Structure 1
Amino acid sequence: MKGLSMAIPLDATLKTLDLADEEVRTKVIEKFIDEHGQRLFNLIYWKTGNYEDAKDLTAEVIFKIYKALPKFRGDANLYTWAYRIAINHVNRFLLKRSLLKFVSFEDMKREPECLDARQDTDDSGLSEAVRQAVSKLPQKYRDVVVLFYFENCKYEEIAQILGISVGTVKSRLNRARSKLSKLLEGVIK
């Protein structure tokens, strides 16, 4: 595909491409999936707590990103822009299911095969306790915790993804840490 080398970072080439061209969009999406597909799935899985829902929603989000690519202006990097689409889509899904306040971890018994080394811990009880504690956080705190600790996003990226200020990100992260400390009081010694 002319104009899109797999060796060049995706964001570096986007402004020079005709994103209205379906063939170009297809190549961009393929490269996006290679670079960010796993992180996108993990984010959705953490927000929904359900493996099957996360698979379905990831496919829906990728299709939404594909359709929206011609509108991409390049104000943010593609990853940040796409994650904003993902969070909005998942939040709408959760609202429809009346799960916005808390995620049910009954459905998280089955671990996805594709979650990375963060899952490979000897202390699975602690890992499960942390997951359950995160699930009990209000949505606005859970979002920043998942993006910061599990997706390794920087404050600025989180602010762009969630459409809030960096100060608000830091404030929510501090409040989330405080709430998590209380929730994990008896678990972590």
Structure 2
Amino acid sequence: MEPHYLQHLSGGSDKDVILGDLMTQYGNDVWNFAFFLTRHADAADDLTQDVFLSVYDKLYSFRGECSVKSWLLTITRNKSLNYLKSAFIRKVTLVDYVIRKGSSRSAEAELFDRLETRHIWATLMRIPRKFREILLLNAHYQLTNKEISILLEIPEATVKTRLHRARKKLSDMLNNDYQGGE
């Protein structure tokens, strides 16, 4: 892991500039992970703001024991899980799916690619969260097993096992869908 300048900050550093850099570099990753966990764009917006507010308050506490990305994703995960556990969300949220609006290109190949991608993402969203999380952190964010184990606070062997099971579960579900005629 490469050392990051955050671990060498002093009280005289300009927190606004540093926060701007972090938001520019990692803002999309934080929002996407929050959205992936909550499945609500509005919640992802709020959680992203909350994450960066927490980072602003705790900026000088970064020790460099992990990468900045995994530090931010850990904060995002914790805030997202707290959000999902809150009584307000359990009682008030009525719709548990996302309706995407967008335009499609006229090329048939592009259409089929998009349909395939949507189908894979829809299938991924059907597997349990502990497996979705592992796949997303490994495949999309390209975190190592060690970084994932630190982020999720589980042993590295558990990460490997869950990753294997998640891939198998996703593969089986996709194969069943294709054999079923979808």
Same fold (TM over 0.5): yes
CA RMSD of aligned residues (A): 2.5
Within 1, Cα distance between the matches of 2:7 and 2:167? Answer: 39
Structure having the larger proportion of residues in helix? 2
Match 1:71 to one of 61, 81, 89: 61
- Aligned residue for 1:15? 7
What do residues 10-45 of structure 1 show as CA deviations (whole Å, max 9, x unaligned)?
A: 953223211x45x62222211111221111111112
What do residues 119-147 of structure 1 show as CA deviations (whole Å, max 9, x unaligned)?
A: x8842222122112221222211111111
From the CA coordinates, give the structure whose radius of gyration is larger: 2
Within 1, Cα distance between the matches of 2:85 and 2:121? Answer: 21
> Which AA in structure 2 matches 1:170?
K
The alignment status of 1:33 with 2:23, answered yes or no, reads yes
Q: How many residues align?
A: 166
Within 1, Cα distance between the matches of 2:52 and 2:73? Answer: 10
What do residues 84-128 of structure 1 show as CA deviations (whole Å, max 9, x unaligned)?
A: 1110000111122349xxx93x324247xxxxxxxx884222212
How high is the sequence identity, in percent, across the aligned residues?
Answer: 25
Match 1:43 to one of 17, 33, 58: 33
CA contact (8 A) 1:47 1:90 kept: yes
- Aligned residue for 1:124? 114
Give 1:188 deviation, angstroms: 4.6
Structure 1 stretches of 5 or more lacking a match?
A: 1-9, 112-119
The alignment status of 1:91 with 2:67, answered yes or no, reads no
The alignment status of 1:107 with 2:98, answered yes or no, reads yes
Within 2, Cα distance between the matches of 1:65 and 1:147? Answer: 20
- Aligned residue for 1:159? 149
CA contact (8 A) 1:129 1:187 kept: no
| Regions of 4+ moved over 3 Å | 186-189
TM-score, with structure 1 as normaliser? 0.76
Within 2, Cα distance between the matches of 1:28 and 1:13? Answer: 10
> Structure 1 residues 85-94 or 146-155, which shifts more?
146-155
Give 1:46 deviation, angstroms: 1.5
Within 2, Cα distance between the matches of 1:124 and 1:108? Answer: 15
- Aligned residue for 1:136? 126
Within 2, Cα distance between the matches of 1:42 and 1:127? Answer: 16
1:37–1:165 Cα change, 3 Å: same
